[in-house]
Structure 1
Amino acid sequence: MTLSTEPARPGLATRLKKAWDSDIAWSFRHSPVAMIAAVMTVVLILAAIFADRIAPQNAFDPAALDLLDAYTRPGEAGASSGTVYWLGTDNQGRDLLSAILYGSRVSLFVGFAAVFFSVAMGVALGLVAGYVGGRTDAFIMRVADIQLSFPAILIALLFFGVARGLIAAANHEQMAIWVLIVAIGLSNWAQYARTVRGSTLVERNKEYVQAARVIGRPPFVIMLRHVLPNVTGPVLVISTINLALAVIEEATLSFLGVGVPPTQPSLGTLIRFGQQYLFSGEWWILFFPALALVLLALSINLLGDWLRDALNPRLR
């Protein structure tokens, strides 16, 4: 009989207690702003995910709309249905609360997908540039420098326009969201590439990387299994903040009429529709979608600011 010399793995309760006592958890518990922002972010995301279950109305089903309930003020009952609309209705009798829930789902989907795309592209290029170096590093960084010299919204507009020109007109609405995701993602990859490249330049000369080279590990394996886990801290912070920027960028493009199609409206599309009625007395058609966008972006930004401070040892 042989006795195992491997230490026993800690149980779930032990791991949870260790996580609860960590520096990040302590910082979170002692930051009221972070806790409020986290609660707001979770509530808004869950409300968007389960919009079809909690929304009073399918806001984008024409059969569910009643034109006689159009322009109902917040908190009043519709003239035809008698239903109380807590945030009012628009010019088609659409419940604004339901429209905001469904629109937030589209905005968040575009934001998360665009951030995922930009993170994947930027981290990959940053790893290659920092680890390989030489002309490869110079070429990738010069492309990143050129892109960073232009506002992200202009880059997104450029890519969006080029993609729309390459896609058949009949497929514009079906492909609009995916084109928007790629356009926003391509406008934000350079930040991740520069950050990861700088961290990789430091990590590639450390002893654990040298040891991996000595035992014959391929460069791809070294970058993926050894270097990447040690450069993800700054990426997490940037991606959290960029999520709010991606949602705002999507809203800006949709407000300009080049984003999400009217058949799948987002918060930006609702704001674009609402601004037509701002000076005619129906202020709520613009105000509540804009308020939802501000709360969503603000809560994510505050959470990203806290995460940046919590992961920075100089600020502890």
Structure 2
Amino acid sequence: MISRISSFWASDIGWSFRGSPVAILSAIMVVVLLMAALFAPWITPQNPFDPSELNLANGFSPPLQENPFTNDFFVFGADNQGRDVFSTILYGLRISLMVGVLAVAFGLVLGVSLGLIAGYVGGRVDSIIMRTADIQLTFPAILIAMLIFGIAKGVAPIEYRDQVAIWVLIVAIGLSDWVPFARVVRGAAMVQKNKDFVLAAKLAGQGPMTIMFRHILPNAMSPILVIATISLALAIIAEATLSFLGVGAPPTKPSLGTLIRVGQEFALSGEWWILFFPALTLLMLALSVNSLGDWLRDALNPSLKS
């Protein structure tokens, strides 16, 4: 493990990382937020979604002030239900990160698979897959996600809707985000499939699946990593947008978007902290991930450096 870290640190990418203060700061921010989300049950002073731990007398407690009725102290204040805002942010961050990562993973697997098939097989199969991708690109991704989420949630039985809402959200965002992966991998497959090493693999008796995933796919990993990193920031924002609109994470498992939707109801009445801190956390997370994606794009393709 240590040797691999040393090898990375001494590589060209490691050198590029060391020379980019923005990338270092972004990586630190992502790691801090990720660790805070993972260890939320041990870091937070309360489980904000356990009614037995809440006290309504703490409602609307301002940040960094002791509540005069309960003598409880909240760093980021408390919301209308007496929940510690700091605790709600970390628990909401877990949902946002889980949805973002799994949605990108689903979109990556789907897009890479379809892109390999389209580029390697070609012909009518390629036309069908790429025309489907072109049609999908004519619609905003958030509208596609809303449509898929609405249909799936409408089909699910009422008593199970909140239980499956998170997984439906993951599938909806993933299905709206597979096209960039498919287009990039298709181009790589079309270039690589006529090269000598692929022809040699065919002569050796290897099947199409082995050739696509063992010989062609590794040559497209650099752009896939870049797209995945940038797509993660977009997926997190998409999840927050859907939850803000009320068609995302359920109230029983609120994400950052749900917390922002709740906070905006009280922003004009003076309880600004209920909206401000979740929104700031979402901004820091999306900006950090997006900055890492920009750095990774330049590091893997020096010709794009400005």
TM-score normalised by the chain length of structure 2:
0.97
Task: Name the SS of the counterpart of 1:82 in structure 2.
Answer: coil
Q: Which residue of 2 aligns with 1:206?
A: 195
CA contact (8 A) 1:260 1:266 kept: yes
Q: Which residue of the partner structure matches residue 89 of structure 1?
A: 78
Mapped to 2, the partners of 1:139 and 1:313 lie a distance apart of: 34
Aligned to 2:168: 179
Q: How many residues align?
A: 305
CA contact (8 A) 1:68 1:79 kept: no
Aligned mates of 1:171, 1:14 — CA distance in 2: 48
1:133-188 deviation digits (Å, cap 9, x = unpaired): 00000000000000011100000011011101211111100000000000000000
Consecutive unaligned residues of structure 2, counting only runs of 5 or more, are: none
Partner of 1:63: 52
1:92-135 CA-to-partner distances (Å, cap 9, x unmatched) read 11000000000000000000010000000000000000000000
Specify the alignment match of 1:41 in structure 2. Answer: 30
Compared with structure 1, are the counterparts of its residues 155 and 75 closer, same or farther at alpha carbon in structure 2 (3 Å cutoff)?
same
Aligned mate of 2:134, from 120, 132, 145: 145
From the superposition, tell whether residues 306 and 49 of structure 1 become closer, same or farther in structure 2 (CA, over 3 Å): same
C-alpha change, 1:73 and 1:131, in structure 2 (3 Å) is same
Q: Which of 131, 147, 169 is the equivalent residue of 2:120?
A: 131
Deviation of the 1:20 alpha carbon:
2.0
**What is the identity, as a one-letter code, of the residue corresponding to 1:245?**
L
2:166 partner amino acid? I
**Alignment pair present for 1:230 and 2:219:** yes
2:14 matches 1:22: no
Supply the distance in 1 between the matched residues of 2:23 and 2:206 (Cα, whole angstroms).
42
- Runs of 4+ displaced beyond 6 Å: none
Q: Identity across aligned pairs (percent)?
A: 60
Contact 1:254 1:268 in 2 (8 A): yes
Contact 1:104 1:267 in 2 (8 A): yes
Superposition TM-score, scaled by structure 1 size = 0.94
RMSD over aligned Cα atoms: 1.2
How far apart, in 1, do the equivalents of 2:168 and 2:2 lie? 45
Alignment of 1:53 with 2:12, yes or no, is no
**2:64: which partner in 1?**
75
**Pair 1:110 & 2:99 matched:** yes
Q: Distance in 2 between matches of 1:248 and 1:27?
A: 28
Which residue of 108, 120, 123 maps to 1:119?
108
2:257 to 262, 268, 279: 268
Q: Aligned-pair distance for 1:225?
A: 0.8
**Structure 1 position 14, deviation (Å):** 5.7
Q: Take 1:18 and 1:67, find their aligned partners in 2: how far apart are those partners?
A: 54
| Equivalent residues of 1:69, 1:79 under 8 A apart | no
Q: 2:240 aligns with which of 251, 262, 265?
A: 251
SS of 2:77's equivalent in the other structure is coil
Structure 1 99/15 Cα, relative in aligned 2: closer, same or farther at 3 Å? closer
Q: What does residue 89 of structure 2 align with?
A: 100
Paired residue type of 1:185: G
Q: Aligned-pair distance for 1:224?
A: 1.2
Match of 1:3 in 2: none
- Distance in 2 (CA, whole Å) between partners of 1:75 and 1:216 is 69
Specify the structure having the higher radius of gyration (Cα).
1
Structure 1: stretches of 5+ with no match in the other structure = 1-11
- The whole-number CA distance in structure 1 between the counterparts of 2:302 and 2:215 is 22
How far has the Cα of 1:298 moved from its partner? 0.4
